[in-house]
Amino acid sequence: MSACSALLNSRVAGGCCRLWRGVPRPVVHFRSASVAERGAGRSDEELWEAASYLPFSGARIGSFFQERPVLKNPFLEDALLRGYLRRHLPQEAAFSDLCAFGERVSKEVDVWGRECEVTPPQLVHFDPWGRRVDHIETSPAWKRMKDLSAQEGLVAIGYERPFGEWSRVYQMCKLYIYSPSSGLYTCPLAMTDGAAKVIQSVGVSWPVDEAYSRLTTRQPERFWTSGQWMTERQGGSDVARGTETVAVPQTDGSYKLHGFKWFTSATDADMTLTLARIQDRTGATTPGSRGLSLFYAEVSRDEDGLLKGIEVQRLKDKLGTRQMPTAELLLDGLPAHRLSEVGRGVASIANMLTITRIHNSISAAAAMRRVVQLAGDYATRRTAFGKLLKDHPLHMQTLARMEVETRGAFLLVMDACRLLGREESGMATQLDTNLLRLLTPVVKLYTGKQAVAVVSEGLESFGGQGYIEDTGLPGLLRDAQVLSIWEGTTNVLSLDVLRCVARSSGLVLHAYFTHTKSLLAGASSVSSLAPAVKALDRALSELQDFVQVAASRGPAYLELGARDLAYSLARIYAGALLIDHACWKGASPSDTYAALRWCEQDLCPVANKQARGCYDPNTPALDAALVYDRPTQD
C-alpha cells in the first residue's frame, strides 16, 4: 500500500469526517483508486472525499512551522568574550556598556542590518533634467548605522583611550558584537579608523586637523567616514606597479589627482586617503614604490551639486557586501593634499593597513561567533529523527568544532588588539612591536580563511534553510568570502610575513618564539592540559627547525613554504593563547576542553609538508604541469 493510500485509509477508518457536501469540490489531482483499494471496499467517491482531509490544500498549508533561530544579546551569550574581559579588563563601565550595546544590537540594530542587505545602494548618474549628479543613494538603515557608529564611539574609543592600553580591546569587542548585524558598516569604520591612525602618525595639523576631529567624534552630525582608494585597474595587490594615478602640483602647494580607482569601498565616504605619483614639470613620474606618495582628499560637491574632480563610473556588482556601495571612480582633477613625504606613500599607508587588517580579523571572528550562536540556538528548537538537534551527538560534535575554531580566532585577534593598544599607549616593548608586525598579517589571513569554512559549516547546520536567502543566513557566507580577499589576499599576506621576517632580520620571529613560550610557561604544571602543552611544545620545536633549515635555502624555497608557515604561526600561537586562557583561575572546563581540541590538529603544517618534499626545487614545475594537465592527442 502506498504511503498516500495508507494515510487515506487511516483517516477514513478513524471516522473523523468533514465532508465537502454541498460545496464545489476543490481541484485536487488525485490518482484513481487502484484495484486493490477498490477491493478494500472503498468506492472512488469515498476515496475522493477522504482526499479532502489532506492537510495540504489551497485552503490549508499545514500546522507545523519550524521555529527560527533567535539572536540573543551577543555579549551576554559569549562565554569566552566575557571571560576574556573579566580577566583583562575587569571594569564595570566596560561591561555595562557592552551589555547595553549587545542588547541594542540584538533588538534593534540587527533589523537595520537586514534592511541594508535588502535595500542595496543605487547610483543615480543623472537628475531628471539630464544633469550629471553621480549620487550614491543609500538606505535609511545605512545612514542610521553611521549615526549609531558615532554615538557608540566605534571609532572614537580607539582615540579617546578610556581604558589605557586596553582601549583597543574594548573598542574591538564592541565591533565584534556589532559586525554581523552592521550591514557591513564595519567596512567604512575600518577605513575611518585607519585614516585617523595615519593622520595621527603624520601629525594632526592643517589640512587634516578638521578631518581627524570628524573621524574620531561621537557627534553624529559631525562624524565623517573615510575611504581608502588603493586599487586600480591593474590590480590591488601589487600597488607599487599597479598605481597609474598622477598628482599634478598646484601653485598653492596642493595637488590635483587624475586616475582611475577600480575598487573603492564604502564610496559614500566624506574623505579618502589614496596613492598617486607626483608629476614633474615635464609630466614624468617615478615608477615603482618609490614613486608613490600618500594623499588626502575630501569628497565634496560644487555649488551646482557636482562632485568636485570625481566621476562615479559605476557601482560594482559583487558576490557579497552588497549592503555597501563599492564604485569605480574616475579622478579628474580631484583636489588633494600630500600627507606623506614624496615617495613614502606605501610605508605611510601601512599604518592604515594594520588597522584595517585587524578590523577584518574582528569581522571574521565575529562572523564565526554569530553563526555558532545561531546554530546553537537552532539546535535547541529543531527536531529531527525524533529528538532535538542538540541531542544528536554528531551534530553537537560539528558545532563544538566550529566553537573551537571561533575561540582560537577570537583569542588571536584579541591578542593583536592587545598589542596595538600597548603600542598606542606607549607601553609596548620592542618585543611587542615586533610581535604586532608579524601577527597582523598572520591573524588576518588565518581568520579570513577560518571564517569562510566555519560560516559555510554553520549554514549547513540549518539544513536547506541555511541556503534560503530571506533567512539572512546566506548573506553571512557571502560577506565572509571577502574577508580573505580584500586588505591583502592569503598569499600576499603570507609573503608579507616573509618580508617582515627578512626586514627585521628575524627579530619578529624571535619575539614570536619568546612570547609563545612565555604563554606556555604557566601551563607546565596543569595536568588537564598536558596533551595540549606536549603537542604545542613539539610543534614549536618543529617550527624552529623549519626556520633554521629554510634560512639556509634560497628565497624560492621560502616562498613555497610561505602559506604553510603563516598557518603554522597562527595555529601554534592560537593554541598557546587557548592554553594560557585555560590556565587562568577564572577559566571554565570548556576553556580547557577547547584548548585540548585545538591542539589535536596539525599545528605545524609547514614542518610536515617540508618533510614530504613539498618545497623542493622540482615542485613548481610539477605543480604547473598538474594545473595545466590537458588531454594528450591520441
SS3 (DSSP) at 104: helix
Query: Which C-beta is closer to ligand MFK: that of 502 or that of 530?
Result: 502
Provide the minimum distance between the beta carbon of 154 and ligand MFK in the complex, in angstroms, as a whole number.
12
> What single DSSP character describes residue 106?
I
CB of 462 to ligand MFK, least distance (A): 24
User: 341: which DSSP letter?
Assistant: P
Residue 123 or 485: the one with the smaller Cβ distance to ligand MFK is: 485
> Closer to ligand MFK at the Cβ: 90 or 288?
288
Which one of 421, 475, 488, 605 is in contact with ligand MFK (CB under 6 A)? 488
Residue 453: other Cβ atoms inside 10 A: 13
Does position 433 bind ligand MFK by CB under 6 A? Answer: no
Stretch that binds ligand MFK, among 110-118, 183-191, 526-534, 535-543 (CB under 6 A): 183-191
Using CB under 6 A as the binding rule, whether residue 176 contacts ligand MFK is answered as: no
Q: Side-chain half-sphere of 217: how many Cα atoms within 13 Å?
A: 15
Q: Is the dihedral of CA 462, 465, 469, 472 positive or negative?
A: negative
Nearer CB in complex with ligand MFK: 272/398: 272
- Backbone torsions φ then ψ of 307, nearest 5 degrees: -60, 135
Nearest to 182 by CA among 225, 216, 221: 225
Nearer to ligand MFK, 390 or 478 (CB): 478
3-state SS assignment for residue 277? strand
Is residue 587 a contact point for ligand MFK (CB under 6 A)? no
Q: What is the DSSP string of 464-476?
A: GGGG-GGGTHHHH
Residue of the chain from 187, 324, 501, 529 that contacts ligand MFK (CB under 6 A): 187
By C-beta, is 60 or 499 nearer to ligand MFK? Answer: 499
User: In the set 37, 134, 487, 564, which binds ligand MFK (CB under 6 A)?
Assistant: 487
Other beta carbons within 10 Å of 500: 18
Q: Which of residues 100-159 bind ligand MFK (CB under 6 A)?
A: none
| Residue 1: HSE in the Cβ half-sphere, 13 Å Cα cutoff | 13
Task: Tell me the backbone φ, ψ of residue 333, rounded to 5 degrees.
Answer: 85, 35
When the beta carbons of 168 and 359 are compared against ligand MFK, the nearer one is: 359
Q: Does 614 bind ligand MFK (CB under 6 A)?
A: no
Counting contacts by CB under 6 A, is residue 186 touching ligand MFK?
A: yes
DSSP state of 446: H
Kindly tell me which of 246 and 603 has the beta carbon lying closer to ligand MFK: 246
State in angstroms the smallest separation of the CB of 185 from ligand MFK: 9
Options 107-115, 399-407, 484-492, 582-590: segment touching ligand MFK (CB under 6 A): 484-492
SS3 199: helix
368 is an interface residue for ligand MFK by CB under 6 A: no
Give whichever of 327 and 604 is closer to ligand MFK, judged by the CB atom: 327
If one asks whether residue 444 binds ligand MFK (CB under 6 A), the answer comes out as no
User: Residue 473 interacts with ligand MFK (CB under 6 A)?
Assistant: no
- 274-333: contacts with ligand MFK (CB under 6 A): 289
The one among 61, 93, 347, 502 contacting ligand MFK by CB under 6 A: 347
Of 277, 282, 279, 310, residue with least CA distance to 292: 277
Which 190-209 positions form the footprint of ligand MFK (CB under 6 A)? 190-191
From the list 194, 166, 197, 191, the residue with the least C-alpha distance to 419 is: 166
First to last CA, the chain: 55
In angstroms, the CA 447 to CA 440 distance is 11
**Integer Cα distance of 257 and 309 in angstroms:** 8
Q: How far is the CB of 505 from ligand MFK (least distance, A)?
A: 13
List the one residue from 145, 195, 346, 454 that touches ligand MFK (CB under 6 A): 346
- The answer to whether 356 contacts ligand MFK (rule: CB under 6 A) is yes
Which of residues 359, 422, 444, 597 is near ligand MFK by CB under 6 A? 359
- Per-residue binding letters, 385-424, with ligand MFK (x by CB under 6 A): ----------------------------------------
Nearest-approach distance from CB 330 to ligand MFK, in angstroms: 18
Rounded distance, CA 191 to CA 152, Å?
A: 17
515 neighbors 577 (Cβ within 8 angstroms): no
- Point out which span in 138-146, 345-353, 537-545, 569-577 binds ligand MFK (CB under 6 A): 345-353
CB of 357 to ligand MFK, least distance (A): 8
| CB 349 to ligand MFK: min, Å | 8
Nearest-Å Rg of the Cα atoms of the chain is 29
SS3 252: coil
Strands (E), 382-432: 383-384, 387-388
Residues in the chain: 634
How big is the site for ligand MFK, counted in residues (CB under 6 A)? 29
Rounded distance between C-alpha atoms, residue 119 and residue 28, angstroms:
40
Task: Kindly state the smallest distance separating residue 483's Cβ from ligand MFK, in Å.
Answer: 7
Q: Give the residue, chosen from 222, 499, 517, 534, that forms a contact with ligand MFK under the rule CB under 6 A.
A: 499
Q: Which is nearer to ligand MFK, 315 or 595 (CB)?
A: 315
For position 342 contacting ligand MFK by CB under 6 A, the verdict is no
Which of 486, 546, 557, 598 binds ligand MFK (CB under 6 A)? It is 486
Nearest-angstrom CA–CA distance, 372 and 72: 12
Q: Does 339 help bind ligand MFK (rule: CB under 6 A)?
A: no
Smallest distance from ligand MFK to CB 346, Å: 4
Residues 211-270 that bind ligand MFK (CB under 6 A): 228, 230-231, 236-237, 239-240, 265
> How far is residue 50's CA from residue 553's CA, in Å, rounded to a whole number?
81
Q: CA geometry: angle at 202 spanning 354 and 173, to 5°?
A: 35
Contacts 24+ apart (CB under 8 A), 383-389: 389/461
- Contacts (Cβ under 8 Å, ≥6 apart) of 296: 199, 207, 208, 211, 271, 272, 273, 336, 337, 338, 339
* Among 94, 210, 101, 213, CA closest to 149: 101
Q: Kindly write down the DSSP assignment for every residue of 1-43, as one continuous string.
A: --HHHHHHHHHHHHT-----TTSPPP----PPPPHHHHHTT--
* Contact range with ligand MFK by CB under 6 A, out of 74-82, 108-116, 399-407, 481-489: 481-489
Residue 528: how many CB atoms within 10 A of its CB?
A: 14
Q: How far is the CB of 243 from ligand MFK (least distance, A)?
A: 9
Q: Which residues bind ligand MFK (CB under 6 A)?
A: 186-187, 190-191, 228, 230-231, 236-237, 239-240, 265, 289, 346-347, 350, 353-354, 356, 359-360, 363, 486-488, 492, 496, 499, 503
